[in-house]
Amino acid sequence: MAAKGRIVWVSGPAVKADGMSDAKMYETVVVGNSKLVGEVIRLTGDVAFIQVYESTSGLKPGEPVIGTGNPLSVLLGPGIIGQIYDGIQRPLKELSKASGSFIGRGITTTPVDMIKKYHFVPTVSNGDNVAAGNVIGTVQETDLIVHSIMVPPDHLGGKISNMVSEGDYNLETILATTEKDGQKTSLKMYHRWPVRKPRPYQNRYDPTIPLLTGQRVIDTFFPIAKGGTGSIPGAFGTGKTVTLHQIAKWADSQVVVYIGCGERGNEMTEVLVEFPHLKDPRSGKPLMDRTVLVANTSNMPV
């Protein structure tokens, strides 16, 4: 049963709501008459403390808060490559169509185009047994990226039935059905995953292969391994963001995920304007064919 409460206190992006005894920790909620996106971050009795991920200007006590029953999640599947998202996986291009240059409040949209068709090539057949993490087929997502469609990590797995043949399908198409212990489950091209739940893994490998960044000073004096991490501490204006831009363009990587979190808005604007016009130096194709941009700048509401 979805929680239904009302606002009793507002302070910046933080909101308190009572009557939320049915709410769960980290549940996504719809806040106020403007239907803002929020997340339950603390529960005390029937009072929920909510982090709102949009501007709370104009919110007032008495407005409704409605739980969705689901944790804050992201959609994982074909269509992510080439997108520009905000911090809660809303595509900025779609937000721009709905509200113009400035992001409006309470706008909801799907993270990817659910209607667009992709050419699916199955790699398993009816009667095969699959488990979480197994690949059931592939999709040519862009000219540069082949997307493997896997059994989700939280899926029961089982014996494959009703497998579709090779062809063009959208994300909502049921590609196959699995059955295990009498329980049937459908498989699609996508699944949703809670952002606060770590992805499981079977093995952890030591990072031994160098990631060539294309910046000689880094590759020579401060080499980074694939699967490893690096950090660039520095004061304002010392070139941290510019260095990240160069690594994103020239690094020896298959997919670039550029997250501008906490950067100044004008710096991220430069990325959003520049990246769609860049060519991949290896293939000559647009760099966005293997890039995902996340813009969550310091002058956004949260």
What pLDDT was estimated at residue 100? 78
> What are the domain boundaries of the chain?
4-71, 118-194
Mean pLDDT calculated for residue range 10-22: 94
Q: Give the pLDDT band of residue 302 (cuts 50, 70, 90).
A: very low
pLDDT at 281 > cutoff 60 = yes
Structure tokens at 95: 């937000």
Task: Please state whether beta strands 73-76 and 191-194 pair in parallel, antiparallel, or not at all (unpaired).
Answer: antiparallel
What pLDDT was estimated at residue 202? 87
pLDDT at 122 > cutoff 60 = yes
pLDDT at 144 > cutoff 70 = yes
What pLDDT was estimated at residue 2? 79
Q: Give the pLDDT band of residue 199 (cuts 50, 70, 90).
A: very high
pLDDT at 246 > cutoff 70 = yes
What pLDDT was estimated at residue 1? 63
- Which of 1.10.8.60, 3.30.1600.10, 3.65.10.10, 2.40.50.100 is the CATH number of 118-194? 2.40.50.100
Q: Give the pLDDT band of residue 149 (cuts 50, 70, 90).
A: very high
* CA distances in angstroms from 37 to 22, 70, 237, listed in the order given: 18, 12, 34
Mean pLDDT calculated for residue range 155-167: 94
Domain 4-71 -> CATH class: mainly beta
Residue pLDDT, tens place only, 21-80: 999 999 999 999 999 999 999 999 999 999 999 889 999 999 999 999 999 999 999 999
